[in-house]
Structure 1
Amino acid sequence: MSRSRIAIAVAGVGAAMVALTACGGTESNVTEDGLTTVTVGNMNSNSLTFPLLVAQEEGFFADAGLHVETVDAVSGPELTAALIGGTTQIAVGTPENVMPAMAQGQGLVAIPPFGQLDMSLITLQDSGINEVADLVGKQVGVVQRGSFSEKFARSIMVDHGLDPDSVTYIAVGAGATMEPALRNGKVDASVGATSTVALLDQHGLAIRNLANSLDETGGEAGEFGMQTMWTTTVDYREQNPEIAEGFCSAMNRASDWIADDANRGAGVQLMSTLLAVPQETAETIWDRTHLSWKYRIDDEKWNRVADWVLEDNETGLPYADYVSADCGEKQ
């Protein structure tokens, strides 16, 4: 990401902070059951935050002595802004929003679990586009310009020996607005998460998958890509180590629970409820994503993602300074 794009990203976070911090911050307190309350920024009805729902429903937070209150946001910048402003104490985050804020000295630290990049480059089966090379001269829908979805599409083009600027990238938003753009031919292809692709299929669109970050067609981005992390501030982690440890421990238990095939039935039901989709659609999403969350990432993966996001930032984000690798470490 160019310095100008970093500035824009952080400016977006700053603008969101004005609105969110007006609500005031919240301090941890103890419930009648003796649980310590922690306020967590969440993206409602989004499979990327699935471990949070599992940790709630399976009682993992309660086991860790925590009562989690969620504050829902509709975008990554809102989530990061609320965390920086003190409206929340922990939040889900995306590298494209969190890392520029880190680079600007906002005092954030990444904690587990870390979600693998979940993106597919898709087209309609009757579009006449049968492989990535057929995209040259076409229009590709992305969530927004400069977003991870565009970076993924560009990466796939490069992996296939093509000029990433040989296609036109069109901002079409997420699933609700992406569908009509694809259905009505406003774009020739699009980039979406597994949950988005499953919903398109549910709505009767016959989809051809050109590249997917979760299988061997995702190229370099599929190898190192990371879509989500959980975040807190350095100050909060230092001042509330037991709360941070408890949160990480509960979320790591949730990740293990999701990865266990024995929990598929219960997990599909939770996924169906979270996304408000039929069980059959939830099964598709579960089968493709339930191994997506990792307890730990190494410095190589972190550095490659940071380089991808920040591009010409020369200082980078040293792993030891920005990743709380031992948070909730399993004994």
Structure 2
Amino acid sequence: MRSRRWMIGFLMISVLALAACGEKNAASGKESSTLRVGYGQLYGAPLADIARAEGFFEDENLEVEMISFTSGGLDALNSDKIDIALTFGTAGPLNYIAQGADFTFIGGHMEGGQPVVTKEENANKYKTLEDFKGKKIATVRLGTLDVIFKSALDDAGIDIQKDVDFVEVKSVADVLEAVQSGKVDVGLSNTGHLTKTEQIGLKPIFWSNDLSQNDLCCRVTVRGNISSDKAVAYKKFMKALIKAERVKLENPKKNLEASKPTFKQLPEERVNEIVNEKHLINSADPNKKEVVNTWGKMQDIGYIKDVDNIDLDDHFNLSMYEEAIDELIKENPNDDYYKKVLKRFNKQNVQS
């Protein structure tokens, strides 16, 4: 009888201990979290790939399911089929917000790396934006470079409705074909197409980095009304991406190796071009100021209208990114890198 009572008591103590441990883990944010993360097949997901390969998600007890999309990634986010839309631009999510979608920006992923291309023999004809007057230009509507280029022309006093002739096509492959065949004079291309561009006799004449100092591409986008559990998971995700950004800066080869499984059918040289092109910047920073600037550009060129009732501030939640930086600084008090990340965050996101 004593043995039985002892066993019951031992089991009760064990259960209480496990429960207390679970409460402690929950309070510290160490409970296991799962996220479904969508990414564009064309761009991959460099920072997420590094985070996976380096064990940064595992460090945070975070399970991440990466889901590839050729199209429809933002529709999947809007319909709750994924938790995060990772590489679907900035203009795309802003266009959804303009149409009433409850999207929220929590971080960043890509900047730059978008080339304006023409036939190699015509490259010397384009020195300034004025040289595009009277030209036919192939573009994918609402692509990152589509908005940046049109906005740059508009800022230069060039009427994008009258002074140039934009030909909208469905894909970057169509852009390149249109330029090569002579159907248009110039094309607005994209990250990861440089090899094909050169193979068919085309050449970059401008990069998006030349046209805009902070030409944002992919933002980390989620649905609004974030639950406390999701907030913890998103903080972990951004923490892993911040660490991954450092790895890419310090060791591009690791970026290449981490990205190979995402682009299984492509040769190593092509993968390296997609994820390590020198004009492409991978930054986890939300860069709110430039997102707001892009929102204004889209209104200026007529892409979004009648949005006076939308307060864009309602579509940012930067607390998870801030918490991620704070944790990294506390965990690495003698490491100046994360202090620089915080300084960048304050410059690009905090109103001065």
> Under TM normalisation by the shorter chain, which class is it?
0.7 to 0.9
**Compared CA separation, residues 274 and 72, structure 1 to 2 (3 A):** closer
What count of residue pairs does the alignment treat as equivalent?
Answer: 283
| Aligned counterpart in structure 2 of residue 82 of structure 1, from 76, 80, 90 | 76
Matches within 5 A, 1:1-331: 35-47=32-44, 49-75=45-71, 78-92=72-86, 93-127=88-122, 130-131=125-126, 132-144=129-141, 147-165=143-161, 166-201=163-198, 204-214=199-209, 217-218=210-211, 222-260=212-250, 263-271=251-259, 274-275=262-263, 276-285=265-274, 286-289=276-279, 291-298=281-288, 300-311=289-300, 312=305, 313-319=307-313, 321-328=314-321, 329-331=324-326
CA drift at 1:294: 3.7
Partner AA of 1:183 in structure 2: Q
Q: Give the fraction of aligned pairs with identical amino acids, expressed as a percent.
A: 17
* TM-superposed deviation, 1:247: 1.3
Amino acid at match of 2:191: T
Q: Distance in 1 between matches of 2:74 and 2:316?
A: 16
Note if contact 2:235-2:320 (Cα within 8 Å) is conserved in structure 1: yes
Whichever residue aligns with residue 306 of structure 1, its letter is: W
1:56–1:265 CA distance, 2 compared to 1 (3 A): same
Q: Is the 8 A contact 2:110 2:218 kept in 1?
A: yes
Write the letter of the residue equivalent to 1:324. N
Provide the rounded CA distance (Å) in 1 between the counterparts of 2:151 and 2:269: 31
TM-score, scaled relative to structure 2: 0.71
Q: For 1:235, what is the secondary structure of its paired residue? A: coil
Deviations 1:50-106 (A, max 9, x none): 21222222221111111111232222xx22221121111122242222123334443
**Cα distance change on mapping 1:138 and 1:159 into 2, 3 Å:** same
Deviations 1:104-145 (A, max 9, x none): 44322111124224422111112366214333222111013x
Task: Quickly say closer, same or farther: Cα 1:272–1:40, change in 2 above 3 A.
Answer: closer
| TM score, norm. by length of structure 1 | 0.75
Whichever residue aligns with residue 281 of structure 2, its letter is L
Q: Can you list the C-alpha shifts for 1:224-267, whole angstroms capped at 9, x where unaligned?
A: 4321111112234444222121111112222222222xx12222
Change (3 A) 1:246 1:294: closer
Look up the SS of the partner of 1:86 in the other structure: coil
1:94 counterpart SS class: coil
Rounded to whole Å, the distance in 1 between the matches of 2:283 and 2:245 is: 6
Checking the alignment, whether the CA contact within 8 Å between 1:149 and 1:191 is kept in structure 2 is yes
Consecutive unaligned residues in structure 1, runs of 5 or more: 1-33
Instruction: Choose 1 or 2 for highest CA Rg.
Output: 2
| Alpha-carbon distance in 2 for matches of 1:250, 1:190 | 36
Q: Is the 8 A contact 1:198 1:281 kept in 2?
A: yes
1:279, distance to aligned residue in structure 2 (A): 3.9
* Gap change, CA 1:109 and 1:251, over 3 Å in 2: same
Q: Are residues 289 and 250 of structure 1, via their aligned partners in 2, closer, same or farther at CA, if it must alter by over 3 Å? A: farther
In angstroms, what is the RMSD of aligned CA positions?
A: 2.7
For residues 148-182 of structure 1, what are the alpha-carbon distances to aligned partners after superposition, in whole Å with 9 as ceiling and x for unaligned?
Answer: 43323323334555332322111233333333222
Structure 2 runs not aligned, ≥5 long: 1-30, 327-352
Is residue 224–residue 304 contact of structure 1 (8 Å, CA) maintained in 2?
A: no
